[in-house]
Structure 1
C-alpha cells in the first residue's frame, strides 16, 4: 500500500475531502448530540419537577389531615412512571409519612438537595419538593428517578441515527467529490495560501473570501477569518500595551525592574540604569549586577528584606539602600515591589521600581543636622525652653536645661501631666496658675515671675515668658522659656539693701551734693583769683620800672652837667621822650593792676557769699519747708554761675508768677537742680559759645502739680537711652559714675513727684522735667515727714 503522500492528488484530495467532511460532520453531529443530551437532561429535570409539583399538590390534603392512607394512594399513582425508583413523603418532624418504591435509608436521604432543587448522581435524578398549603409547610416530597436507563435508550437511538447519517454522508461525499473537487479544493488551497502568507508576513489583517458559502468550508473559512480577527485584535492590544509600557518606562523618573524567579531572568529599564549614571548597555540584566552595585553596608540588610518578603515574613517589599554610581559615588534608592504567587503561595515573578531619593535623604540629613543644632542651641539657652497645650497646660516639650536649673530630667517632667503645678512654691501656686490662665486667655505675649521647688527642696525664682499660638481662632499651644532669676533676685535684694544704705548715707551727709556744687563753684572762683594773681605777677615782672632806674642812674652820672647832657649829648636828647613813654607805660600798668585787684576782691566776696549760702542750707537739711521754687532755681543757678560764665552759656528764664509755693525738702530739690544744670552744661560743651543756651521753666501744670524744666541745646539723648538714663550706673560720660540722675529720680519720687526726660534725638538737645506736688504729699528725708517754716 502506497504511503499517503505518494497517492495521486485526486485520491489524496478525495481522502482529504472525506476526512475533512467526516471531521466537520463529526463536529457538527457531536455538537448536535451534546445539545440533545443537554436538552434531554433539561427536559427530564423539568418533567420530574412538574411531576413532583403534582404529587405534592395532591398530597396536601392527606398531609394536612394526616391521612397516611390517602398519602399512600397518591404515592401509588407513581406506578405509571416506570423510571420512578423511589418516592417518599416526610412530615416536618422527619417522620416518614408515605413512600413508593425502594426504601430510602438515612444515608440516601442525605443525598437529596434542598427544596426546589435537583441533582444527578449515580444515574439517578434526585428532586426535593416542599408540600405547602396556604404558604404553610406540611412536609417534604423526595423523588428518585432512574435517569441512566432512559439516557441509554436515547443514546442508542442517537447512535443509530448518527451511524446512518455518517454512512449516507460518506456515500454522498464519494459521489460528489469528483464533481465538486474544485469547489472543495479551491477554498482549502486559498485557506492554506492565506495561512502561509500570514505565517510568513505576520500580517493578521488578511482575510479569506467566503463567497457567501454556507457549508462547512464556509463556516471553517469564517472561523479562520474570525480567528485572524481575534489574533489581530490581540496583537494590536499587545502592541499598544507594549507601547504604553515603553512610554511609561521612558516617561517616569523611576526605574522599572522585572524578575522571573523561575528562570532567574531579570529586566532593568534604561531609567533604572540612568539613575546611577549608566547607559542601557553598560549593565547586564542579571541579578548579580544589582548585588554588585549595592553599598557593602546595605547588601545584607537589603537581601534580608527581600528574602523575608518572598518567604511571607513581610507584608510588603520596600527598602532603602545605596547604589554605586558610575563616577564611584553612592546614591540613595527606594526599592518597592510586589510578587505574583501561585496557588501554593510560591512566588514565581516579581516586579517593582527604583526611586531616586538622594535629594530626600540629603534633606533628611540636613533636617537631622538642623534638629541636632536646634536642640544644641535650645539646650545652650540659659533657661528652660518649653511647649504646652493651651487648654490643659500639659507640657509636651521641655529642654535639657531643666536638669541643671531644677534638678529634674525632661523625661521626669513629661511623665507627669501636672509636674509644673506640683512643683510650684506653695505661696505662689494659686497666683501663678491663675496668672498663666489669664495670659493664655488674652492670647498675647506675657511675662511674670514666681518660685518653684527644685530637687532637694531648693527654691528657685523663675521668670516665665511665653506666647500663645492659635489655630482656627482657638488657642492651641503655648511656647516660652523659664529663666532662673534666683541670682538676679538675690542681686536685686542686695542692690536694694545697698541702695537703702547709700540713700541713708546720702541723707546723713545732708548737703553732700550741694557741698560738691559749692566746692565746684568755689574752686572755679579760686581759679579766677589764681589767674588774676598770676597776671599781676607777670605784669610786675614785665614792668618798665627797671628801665626807669637805668635812666635815673644815667642822670645821676652827669653830676652838674645835666643841662649840657640833655641838650648836646645824643642819648641825653632822647632821654626826656623816653621818660615820658615810660611814665605812660607805668600809668597803664597801674590801671590794669588796679582792675585785676578789684576782680580779686570781687571773687573773694563771691566765695564768702557761696560759703554763707552753704552754711544757710546746711542748717535746714532733712526737713520739709514751704518754699518759692524760683528762689531754689536761682540758688542752684548761682552755684553753677562761674561755670556758665566761663563757658559762655546764655541762661534764659521763663518763670510763671502764678506759680504757688510748695512744701518740699530744700536739700533734695537743690540736689536735683544742681545735677540737671551741671549735666546741661556738659551736654553743651561741644557747641559754639554763641550757641549755648540754657532755658529754665517754672510753671503750674495743674492745681496740684508744679513743674521745673531745664532745657538745653546740647548733644541730645539717643532714643534707646531715654529709658535707661535713670538706671543705676548708666552714664555716657567717660568720667561719669551713673548715680546723679538715678538718685535725682529717687529723690523726686520720695517727695511725691517725678523726674522725666525728653529728646528728639542726638544733636537736638534735651529737656528734663521735675514735677512736684503743691501740697504736703512728700515724705521727708528722715522718713517722718517733718516740716519747718520758711
Structure 2
C-alpha cells in the first residue's frame, strides 16, 4: 500500500501523467484489480482535490462579485449624479442664453433706437469688436475695419489724440470714476465727426482691468449748433460791449458838455473877477508905491518939525502944547516905526492878490483857447495854489515835487482840470494830517504826472468802476461822479493814459502819461474841439 500511496501523492504534486508513468515503472503490467483500485483511489483523490479548489474559488469569486457590485453601484450613482448636474447646467445655460438673448435684443433695440455705435475691447490682446453702426457712423462698411483697438486709435483727430488716450489711461488706472469724453474721429471721406464716447471696464479680483465696453454717439450736429451759438454769443457780446462803450462815451460826452459849460461859466467869472480886481488893484498898488516913496520925505519933515520944537515953544507955546498933545495921542514914534512894515506887507498882499488872479487866468487859460505848447509845471503850481485852501481846510499837506518838464502840445486848461480833479479826490481821501504829493517827470517821449495820497485807498471791488460816469462813493451832494470820468476822457483825447494803483488802508497813486506831441491829426482836432 505504501507503494500505491507514492503514485497518489506524486499525482497530487506533479499531476496525472507523471503519476501514471511512475505506476507503470513500479508495477509494469500488474493485475487489473490492483490497477482499477489504484485508479479508483486516484480518481477519488483527484475529485476531492477538485472539490476543494472549487470551494476555494467559489468563496473568492463571491467576495469579488460583492466588491464589484458595490463599486458598480457607486459608479452608477456618481454617473447619475454627473448626468443630473450636466442636465441642470444645461438647463441653466439654456436659461442664461435665453435671458442673454433677451437682454441683447433689448439692448440692440435700445441702441438701434438711439443710433449709437457699440464697441468691446479686450485690453490684454488688443482685439476689439465694433458694431456695424459704429462703423457706418464713420462711413465704413462692416468688413472695412479690422477688429483691433488701433483702428479706433488711428482715426482720432491729431489735436484730440493725446487727450483722449490720457482719459482712457486715467480711467483704467482708477483716477476717473467714469469714462466719458468728446473728440473728433476721421471718416472714410477724410472729414471729422464729433463723437461722445462712454464706457465701463471689467476688473479682476485685484482690480486690474481686462475688458472695456461702451458706445459712441455722433454729436456733430450738437457741436456745430454750439459753435454757431458761441459765434452768435460772441457777436452779441461784442454788440453789447460796443453799446456799453457807446453809452459810456455818450455819458462822458454829456458830462464833458456839462463840465464845459461849468468851465465856460468859470472862465467868464474869472474874466469878470480878474477885470474887476485888476483895475482897483492897479490903483491900490500904484498908490501904495507912491505912499512908500513919499513916506521917507514925510518922516524927514516930521523930524525937522521936532527939531524946531524949542523955537516953537518960545514963540507959540500954545501951538507947541497942542502939537505935543497930538503927538502923544497918536504915539508918533511907534507909528513912524511901524508904518514901513505895514506898507511892505501891504505890497506883498497886493502881489499875492495879483498872483491869485494870474493863477485863475492860467488855470482857465483865458488867453489860450486852443492847443498850444504849454508849461505843465506852471499849470500844476497854479492849480495847487487854487486848491490850497481846500487842503488847509482838511488839514492836509500839499507837496509839489516837480521836475523840469519840456513844453507839451496840449489843451492846457483841460490838463489843469485833470490835475484839479485828482488833487481834489486825493485831499478828500486823506484823514487830517495826511499828505498829498504831486510829482512830474519826463520819460520815453512822454510826461508823467503822479498824484499820491496816504488816504484810505480804493476798494478792489469798485476799482474797475471809478472811471464810469456818475459813479461816486461820496455822500449825496458831495460829489457828482463826473470828475474821474471827465479826466479819463481828457487824457484819452490827448492820446495818453491814466492808471491807478491803490492799496486799501495805505493810499492811492494816480499816474497820467501824455505824449509831448499829439499822436495824429485826429487827436489834435479832438483837443481843439474840446
TM-score by length of 2: 0.44
Q: Point out the structure with the larger helix share.
A: 2
Tell which has more relative contact order, 1 or 2 (C-alpha 8 A, sep 6+).
2
